[in-house]
Amino acid sequence: MDWQGDFLHDHAFVELQVEGIPSEVDIQNLIRDTEEKLRLNACSIEQNLKELQAKVGEASSGERVPSPIECLQWFSQRNLSILKPVATGHQELLDFLRALQNSLKAEDAFEEAILHLLLNISTQCGVAFPTSCPASSEEHSSSPNLSMPRDDLALEVQKAWDNVRFSLRSHLLGKLQMMTEPSQTEGELGVGTKVPQKIFYLQQLLFLYPETKVFSWYQHLQIKAVLSVLRNCQSCIPGGEKGFDRLTLGFQTASPTLCSMLQEEIHVLNGVAEPHNIIAFLNHVYLNTVAQELGVLMDKEIETALKDNTMHSMKGGKMSSKKSAVEVMG
């Protein structure tokens, strides 16, 4: 997973910033720049291998220092596949997680600092934090396995980790919800600022929870935002408009805001989701929500129109009865 600010500074990326069809001079410059950047990358790799070789030599305590080629072979797929993770003691984990919990309960919340700390531990130390959600209490009690010993300390660790995740999740969802409010949508934060921030918050949630859970929560937030736009536009229509004319005008007023939201959403999801998931998300959050809200409002208008027609027919019937009675008396 890519995170903001994590790109290595010793990597040289090739960019051709030429509009239109490049000339022969542009191509030659690109080739020359590419060769220079490849040379810089090779020097960077060589320097890193020397540093690795020196560190291994310090820890080898008199043994033969491996060559750079041997150092590279350590990272082959075959060698990586036989590596086994180092297990940390449950008590150490529990102490660490409880310290995080105490920090989260402080008056000045440390959510951002703790998220940054967990991310650094994961990326720099190779620690894999669990992202799966715990099973419900019903699932635990439905079919207990009596042959397996109960590890109370392991359960305490899982409970502490779930509490830490829940606090961080509430913080991140709150940030995302604030960015979907109308006051933010109308220009306090431009799309160029909102999109990277939203991607960053979603990436942090994906670090803590499974993808299905994260997109389900985000989907719920965006559906609420779409409904808020539609209903606010309906309520702001002048009182002179009635019936289906009022309904049509409300949706016309909401269209520019919804299109802007949809454009922003595509950019956000493109940073965290696969194309087929993006299409399903947009279809459910925007198209289905608009269609359902339109159907509900149309049903209300039809019901109102039927009531009005019934009242008119009843009044017409009473007027004709009175007229007949007057004619008989005359």
Can you spell out the DSSP letters for 187-232? Answer: IIS-HHHHHHHHHHHHHHHHHHS-HHHHHHHHHHHHHHHHHHHHHH
Rounded Cα–Cα distance for residues 237 and 271 (Å): 37
* pLDDT (0 to 100) of residue 218: 96
pLDDT under 50: residue ranges of the chain: 1-14, 136-150, 183-188, 325-326, 328-329
* pLDDT (0 to 100) of residue 58: 66
Rounded Cα–Cα distance for residues 186 and 257 (Å): 9
* pLDDT (0 to 100) of residue 12: 42
Rounded Cα–Cα distance for residues 150 and 173 (Å): 34
Q: Sign of dihedral through CA atoms 318, 320, 322, 324?
A: negative
pLDDT digits (tens, 9 = 90+) for 156-201: 888 999 999 999 999 999 999 998 865 444 444 555 678 999 999 9
Output the pTM of the full model.
0.64
* pLDDT (0 to 100) of residue 226: 94
* pLDDT (0 to 100) of residue 225: 93
pLDDT digits (tens, 9 = 90+) for 63-100: 666 776 776 676 666 665 666 666 667 788 888 899 99
For 126, the token pair is 């190779």
Rounded Cα–Cα distance for residues 34 and 189 (Å): 37
Classified as helix, coil or strand, 150 is coil
- Residue tagged 């490049």 (tokens): 22
* pLDDT (0 to 100) of residue 290: 92
Degrees, nearest 5: CA angle 182-186-189: 100
Classified as helix, coil or strand, 134 is coil
* pLDDT (0 to 100) of residue 169: 94
